[in-house]
Amino acid sequence: MDDKELLQKIDVIRERLGVSYREASEALQATGGEVLEALAALEEKYEPLGDKLEHAKEEAVDRFKSFLRKGADTKIRIKSNQKTILEFPATWGIVGLAGTLLKSELALVGVVATATALAKDWKMEIVPKENEAELTVLATEGEF
């Protein structure tokens, strides 16, 4: 293969995959000058950026969905004297916490709610759906 033909093949590989001249040249040498084989070998080595971003996006969406499912399955209970006053999905609690971090007005609401809970000796429990008998008491009376 003459230099002009080699350069054309290297340009084809670089144009399609965005690799360096050296990488394209080495791939061609390793495959005996076969452009398709060199492309396939380099694709295996370097997954295109678009594919990487697509995989990362899919993984992030799957994790977020899993997080929402777990949050919806887990309940937060506010209790006073063994009587449930309020029960809501844990996801709501996380959204509320994020809101308090972003808006000072919501933080003020959180402070008022905490003061009320302390004054009334309320408890907060986290109850997983799988085993509602198994729960975690986050705060005991007077410690909310």
Q: Note whether residue 19 is domain-resident.
A: yes
Distance, in Å, from the CA atom of 123 to the CA atom of 22, rounded to the nearest integer, reads: 66
Query: Token digits for 124?
Result: 């907060």
Query: Token digits for 127?
Result: 């109850």
Distance, in Å, from the CA atom of 67 to the CA atom of 63, rounded to the nearest integer, reads: 6
Query: Token digits for 89?
Result: 């999905």
Q: Note whether residue 106 is domain-resident.
A: yes
Distance, in Å, from the CA atom of 70 to the CA atom of 103, rounded to the nearest integer, reads: 26
Query: In this predicted model, what pLDDT tens digit does every residue of 8-44 receive, in sequence order?
Result: 999 999 998 889 999 999 999 999 999 999 999 988 8
Q: Note whether residue 121 is domain-resident.
A: yes
42 in the same domain as 81: no
- Domain of residue 40, residue span: 3-46
Q: Note whether residue 108 is domain-resident.
A: yes
- Count of domains observed in the chain: 2
Q: Is the pTM of this model over 0.85?
A: no
